[in-house]
Amino acid sequence: MILPVVALLSACDMVVMAPAGDVAAQQRDLLVVSTLLMLLIIVPVMGLIVFFAWKYRASNKEAQYEPDWDHSTSLELVIWSAPLLIIICLGALTWAGTHLLDPYRPLDRIKPGQAVAEDVAPLQVNVVALDWKWLFIYPEYGVATVNELAAPVDRPIRFHITSSSVMNSFYIPALAGQIYAMPGMETKLHAVINHPGEYEGFSANYSGDGFSHMRFAFHGLDRAGFDRWIAGVRQGGQPLDRERYLELEKPSEKVPAIRFSNVEGGLWDAILNMCVEPGKMCMGEMMEIDRRGGLTMASVRNTMPLVYDKYAGRGSNAAFFGSDDSYVMTICTPLQAEAAAAERARRSELLNASRGPIDRSPLSGQGLTPQGVPMASLSPFATGPAEAGVRSAPNA
């Protein structure tokens, strides 16, 4: 009778309860404390159920039972005050944990009692969820990998996460909680690994046929080991440009680790803005055009027949509405788009470096004063500072 239980428990992994990262450890503590607080009510209630069933059983003729009894002030105080106090405690823990463990919040500490040094910059890793594999770009080192991730011990890590097609969930149980990867959007996660070792990461959100194999290795290394790992990627890898990325983006399963010795400039910005294909307008360009009033009827013939999911059926079938890629064509020159991408990267670095309040005065929209700009300033031949506001990537 015990063997089936043993078989079920054989699949259990205690990494969530014994993580190697400080953020995951704090999340574990929050889970344990919340469970213990709830057990303060659950355990006595379960015990009283057994006690009452035993005491007032039909064979116990000596039990004093009063069916007309309906009120006790003392019992009412216990019944209402105990759950209320527990709810107050759980609410306080939830409020504190929501703010202190916000994945977008830069880390204040490496481990209990050790704050982040002021001269230590976080390791930035750009994460792209592909079908069905993970792409990791290290902008600081100019390298990239597929289904292989490494980070030095006790150095903060800042993940910038997006997806190429459908929603996924980036999750390394030993490091921190999961966070979603969505196409055309950027989510962030701050974490740190405190113990060297080999850990596993995967997608925690179903995304199609190859979802179950969407796993990768995460190496927690000391500083010297991480430097050697970076050197190995640079020596044994291949270049990652837009053409190679478009091939990599196509659905595939059980992909082994791949290393890229260098990454084409602006690739991450193009992936995020969904404009890796040559001649495709970036979302940043679209939003800037809309902010300036739009292109009105001039843009009617600037689109191709819309096919949202170019890999319909997640790799098993052709596209539903056609076989060709379709998109809004770009109207920026390569030089204008390059300057815009550089400006966007600069503003992103300033935003990441600053922990103060964000100035929202430049925002415009419904209920705000519109800032009209002549359409000539949006033409491919326009020059001047207006182009610098276009948040896009270079277009080949």
Least confident of 54-68, 164-178, 245-259: 54-68
Cβ–Cβ < 8 Å for 110, 22? yes
Nearest 5°: the CA angle 151, 157, 163 is: 95
Which distant-in-sequence residues (6+ apart) come within 8 Å of 325 by Cβ?
A: 277, 304, 307, 310
Of 245, 275, 303, 302, the C-alpha closest to 390 is: 275
Report the pLDDT averaged over residues 30-56. 91
Cβ–Cβ < 8 Å for 41, 83? yes
The yes-or-no verdict on residue 67 having pLDDT over 50 is yes
Q: What does the pLDDT look like over 141-151, one tens digit per residue?
A: 999 999 999 99
Nearest 5°: the CA angle 245, 249, 255 is: 100
The pTM of the full predicted model, rounded to 2 decimals, is 0.73
pLDDT of 346 reads 72
The yes-or-no verdict on residue 22 having pLDDT over 70 is yes
Using pLDDT thresholds of 50, 70 and 90, give the confidence band for residue 376: very low
Percent of the chain with pLDDT over 70: 72
Q: What does the pLDDT look like over 349-359, one tens digit per residue?
A: 666 665 455 45
The per-residue pLDDT of the chain, averaged, comes to: 79
User: What are the Cα distances from residue 23, in Å, to 26, 170, 172, 173?
Assistant: 5, 15, 11, 10
Q: Distance between CA 146 and CA 135 in Å, rounded?
A: 5
Cβ–Cβ < 8 Å for 163, 129? yes
Q: What does the pLDDT look like over 103-160, one tens digit per residue?
A: 999 999 998 988 998 888 999 999 999 989 999 999 999 999 999 999 999 999 999 9
Using pLDDT thresholds of 50, 70 and 90, give the confidence band for residue 390: very low
The yes-or-no verdict on residue 215 having pLDDT over 50 is yes
The yes-or-no verdict on residue 162 having pLDDT over 60 is yes
Cβ–Cβ < 8 Å for 150, 229? yes
How is residue 133 written in tokens? 């594999």
- In the chain, the amino acid numbered 202 is F
The yes-or-no verdict on residue 165 having pLDDT over 70 is yes
Report the pLDDT averaged over residues 194-210. 91
The yes-or-no verdict on residue 35 having pLDDT over 60 is yes
Report the pLDDT averaged over residues 39-46. 91
Q: What does the pLDDT look like over 288-338, one tens digit per residue?
A: 777 777 766 656 555 544 444 455 444 444 444 444 445 566 666 666 666
